[in-house]
Structure 1
């Protein structure tokens, strides 16, 4: 049985990994706010300068938004780059290999890993998208991803994909920080049945959480963004370990100069964020005006 082939817009789904876990780990949400976005705020863009004079731009994205949410000030910085680097670049996942990562090992079934009420709520939520038998053989991370795509309709292309397409159309080299296998393996290691249960129980609040995230992003509200993206994952390895793996490659990009790096905003914020890691390593990290 192939279950991963059913995912619509697979690259977008993979790039939502950290956001999915953050939503699952978040505490009970407050009433959904109606605070409007504040356009014209400084973009979530940082310049990283090395001791040898090399420099890159580091931009924080939100994976389930599109090109319309990229501030105008970002595009000229990308156009001036010689290389564009994102989490997955423009790599397409292999359906068969992804299916192997999506399925539970032989002898395990998801309905035995979840409380009965959560299991039947998940089955009901996924009616028409996945059969009960397909869900039963799905790993927790995969069920979480499918639930999220059922609840949140992301634009196509995603912000990350739109940036990569823009770069490629202008002859800018496109590179990746990790393979989709590495990203999904990290997600699989991080998402527990308890995370999935929390997501199932909080599924009716997901649209509100995403709306809060989008409003905070468009307003460049760093405090709100940290509360949404970083605090729920405090102490979890999903962001910090991947940031540490990426750091040497980003340092090489700084030494080369003229690079533009775009990663999920959660990777840039907080004590284990890339901006803090780079500053501690002696780089000058300055937010764009």
Structure 2
């Protein structure tokens, strides 16, 4: 079961952990630029319009019922661009990267008490204590950051919305392109100190009973295009022991990647007719992708 889960859940791990980090990171919900809306039109210098969609990494089938505006934007585009393009080679690379080096085990890193709590929390996913011992702390966080139904549905073959959207783009004959590589995502995780990883696991375990409620709140807000509420959920500081470490983690997973992805979008936007889909929480805010592109001179218009 663990190996089958690796190929499905770990295909886009930053989408999972970035949301978890934001649940535990403060953010002022008021006065956030671009805090309402999921689909945006981007225009500059007479080039054909491009589109930027905020997605949610969830297997809920309601997300696959594309609103007309999103369906038309995808249909009119020549290329579909995602945070990362799913593939078996990349998933295998990520699965290998989540394993501790030979001779090491998770319990020695997180301690017996935290390991016991973690083993109980992931037992329903089919992860045995022996399998858990081989996992890096950040890999454990991928399980703890999601409701049980999401993990189970993905293990059963239900695609998360962003990956379903990739398949839909392929079906429509669109060229696919990624803004990040698996190696880059792995480097972000592996660059975290073990103390930071352990703190993240501890915070997720302390808040684990609220994961479903938090996820459902964010899901309902997403369906409404209400990114202000998404950010308001992120304003909850409860359960965070090391505030500065959490801020550093959020900077790496959110703000740094926003700058990288915005930079890599520009050549595609200059050609026009690009359909770009990234996690919705990458869009709003002064450090969000929409603000970054607006400061580069792009006219940003909400479509949905």
TM over 0.5: yes
Distance between the aligned counterparts of 1:212 and 1:93, measured in 2? 34
User: Higher helix proportion, which one?
Assistant: 2
Q: 1:176 aligned to 2:172?
A: no
- 8 A Cα contact 1:90 1:174, kept in partner: no
Q: Secondary structure at the match of 2:42?
A: strand
1:187 aligns with 2:183: no
- Distance apart, 1:180 and its partner CA: 2.2
Work out the CA distance in 1 between the residues paired with 2:235 and 2:184.
21
- Alpha carbons of structure 1 residues 231 and 187: separation in structure 2 relative to 1, 3 Å: farther
Say which of 264, 268, 289 aligns to 2:279.
264
Map 1:1-289 → 2, pairs under 5 A: 4-7=3-6, 9-10=8-9, 14=13, 15-23=15-23, 25=24, 43-66=37-60, 68-69=62-63, 70-94=66-90, 96-127=92-123, 129-148=126-145, 151-153=148-150, 156-190=158-192, 192-229=197-234, 236-288=251-303
Alignment coverage as a number of residue pairs = 273
Q: Where do 5+ consecutive residues of structure 1 fail to align? A: 28-41
- The root-mean-square deviation of aligned C-alpha atoms, in Å, is 2.7
Change (3 A) 1:80 1:123: same
Preserved contact between residue 213 and residue 228 of structure 1 (Cα < 8 Å): yes
Distance of aligned partners of 1:180 and 1:17 in 2 relative to their CA distance in 1, 3 Å threshold: farther
Give yes or no for contact 1:84–1:164 (8 Å, CA) kept in 2.
yes
Aligned-pair distance for 1:124?
A: 1.4
Q: TM-score, normalised by structure 2?
A: 0.79
1:50-109 deviations in Å (ceiling 9; x for gaps): 234343100000011445224332111111101100111243344553343112234543
CA deviation vs aligned residue, 1:83-139 (integer Å, no higher than 9, x gap):
100111243344553343112234543223325432211111222522223222211
Return the TM-score normalized by structure 1. 0.83
